[in-house]
Structure 1
């Protein structure tokens, strides 16, 4: 529970690279936005032109980025459980994702299967986020020293990560190379 002596929110900065502006996303719109991002990811993953091109850092293919987004959605249940003091079906299913070589296997996964799994993971998380109360949004992580690191903060951070990965894939390697050269 957040102390009344601490600031209300720890703001996330706007991201010039992907265009995500977390302060514009109301808590009542988080689930809808997560579903929109997931739908776009699903469209990308089933696109026959997906290809093996590497984008972003650490130079993952679009498939590997999609796997990462799926796993972020699954693992977020574990964070929510820790912060809310609950246990969910999704968090037990997420424990297998902690294997150290999970990311190295991403390139071997089937894009259509990843698209389906990402859709299910995002929908389960969206339903859970849509059901949060105002008090739950303000809960901090008892394992961390900063009480401003709330469910709201981590959810906005998750949405930014998903948007950022999507922007990198949509931008593609050519535009990304130009962007890196301009920095």
Structure 2
């Protein structure tokens, strides 16, 4: 059963700490992202080994497996967006419907062991990409299809909140 889409504009986390997961964007730079991502990967792998990984806590909330699939895809998507921002002036990001992706890719029916390997690989890839960002590139810009503007710095902050928050969602 599909989850009701979250319609919130989460860009507010760039200006204030998240009351749910305690993430504070002001502490993040592209240089801190690689270590943070890499430190979360063993925690995600542990989540994916849980016996109840496929169980939804309620009908309106993804299972830990579905969250892990989403995070795997967030790693890949933000790696593409980061590289686009580094390669082109005023990059434009295509819209991504995460809820449609969850249904089309059958997140609920995924194999946790496969997702664990894929999430780890994608996490290592984006960590490597952020490790290569030079300080002079932090101000490069990109525009999301809804008009939200990001710099490489704010993209790093927004991205990291997403994966930290979802690890919090699954008690990882």
> Structure 1 or 2: larger helix share?
1
Q: Which moved more, 1:122-131 or 1:45-54?
A: 45-54
Relative to structure 1, the CA distance from residue 120 to residue 29 in structure 2 (aligned partners, 3 Å threshold; closer, same or farther) is same
The whole-number CA distance in structure 1 between the counterparts of 2:170 and 2:144 is 34
Relative to structure 1, the CA distance from residue 58 to residue 80 in structure 2 (aligned partners, 3 Å threshold; closer, same or farther) is farther
Q: Normalising to structure 1: TM-score of the pair?
A: 0.71
- Where does structure 2 lack aligned partners over 5 or more consecutive residues? 1-12, 89-95
Equivalent runs, 1:43-62 vs 2, <5 Å? 43-54=46-57, 58-62=60-64
1:50-107 residue CA offsets vs partner (Å, 9 max, x unmatched): 340336x951111000000000001112212321126xxxxxxxxxx97984301100
Q: CA deviation at 1:160?
A: 0.4
Q: Which residue number corresponds to residue 71 of structure 2?
A: 69
1:119-159 residue CA offsets vs partner (Å, 9 max, x unmatched): 00000110110111012222111677676x20110111111
The whole-number CA distance in structure 1 between the counterparts of 2:144 and 2:165 is 27
> Structure 1 or 2: larger strand share?
2
Q: Which residue number corresponds to residue 12 of structure 1?
A: 15
The whole-number CA distance in structure 2 between the counterparts of 1:103 and 1:23 is 30
- Where does structure 1 lack aligned partners over 5 or more consecutive residues? 1-9, 87-96, 172-183
Larger Rg: 1
Q: Normalising to structure 2: TM-score of the pair?
A: 0.76
